[in-house]
A = this chain, B = another copy of it.
Amino acid sequence: MAEHTTDLPDVSTLTIGILGGTGDQGRGLAVRFAAAGHTVLIGSRSAERAQRAAEEIGARGADNATVAAEADLVIVAVPWDGHRALLESLREPLTGKIVVDCVNPLGFDKQGAYALPVEEGSAAQQAAAVLTGSRVVAAFHHVSASLLLDPSVPGIDLDILVLGDDREATDIVRALASRIPGARGVYGGRLRNAHQIEALTANLISINRRYKAHAGIRVTDV
């Protein structure tokens, strides 16, 4: 136990942008970061839709490009389908910024969820390949949107694995993750090991089905 969240940077003043922020995962993260005192910008293809989603949770809404330009740190919570195209369109406004990818490339059939192959290795590596001027970090893959969105759930019993090759950026995202009550940001490895963290979401879906749970993971001895 060499390191604790108390050693992490102060991120309390960061403006957080969430691309694809009208989906469950995006809104769930937005609610918790807004509750933690952050200015949160919800992005969507449609500014109007973003504004409607934002109003409900005391955030601001705008189109994805505006959010990418105005936020200090940007979370990518779009469906896997539109992942590459969206990031290609936002290369310029995202330059120099920390971009946190939480996208899980999954397929679904009668037997449940399974991991989709990704040419670059993982969604996070695809983001890094497209956004060569950004500091790409992978995190927030396993947090249950329904728990995030449930106001009767005060804290979330979860470690948020934070992966990346830029130590300062992963520390910032670990600090941000730890601002979700109950959660803790834990370094989880380099970006080349992001695929299995994204794919693990398929296992958590299987676990949820079997145990009728909202499963998360905790890392022991850390």
Q: For A213, what are the chain B residues with a Cβ–Cβ distance below 8 Å?
A: 1-2, 221-222
Query: Is residue A202 contacting chain B, with contact meaning CB distance below 8 A?
Result: yes
Closest to A163 in B: B203
Q: Are B222 and A207 in contact (CB under 8 A)?
A: yes
Contact at A202–B189, with CB atoms within 8 Å? yes
Interface string of A176-189 (1 = CB under 8 A from B): 00000000001111
Q: Which single member of B3, B206, B211 contacts A3 (CB below 8 Å)?
A: B211
Given contacts A112-B189, A157-B220, contact A203 B197 (CB under 8 A): yes
Minimum CB–CB distance for A172 against chain B, Å: 16
B3 with A210: CB separation less than 8 A = yes
Determine the chain B residues whose CB is within 8 A of the CB of A84 once the complex forms: none
Given contacts A211-B3, A212-B2, contact A196 B190 (CB under 8 A): no
Chain B: which residue is nearest A157 at the CB level? B220
A83 interface residue (CB < 8 Å to B)? no
Per-position 1/0 for A41-73, Cβ under 8 A of B: 000000000000000000000000000000000
Q: Known contacts being A196-B200, A199-B196, A200-B200, is A219 close to B215, with CB within 8 Å?
A: yes
Residues of A82-123 whose CB lies within 8 A of B:
111-115
Residues of B within 8 A of A212 (CB): 1-2
For A200, the closest partner residue in chain B by CB is: B196
- Cβ-based interface call for A193 (8 A): yes
Distance of A192 Cα from B1 Cα, bound (Å): 34
What residues of chain B lie closer than 8 Å to A163, measured between beta carbons?
203
Interface residues of A (CB under 8 A from B): 1-3, 111-115, 157-158, 161, 163, 186-190, 192-193, 195-197, 199-200, 202-204, 206-207, 210-222
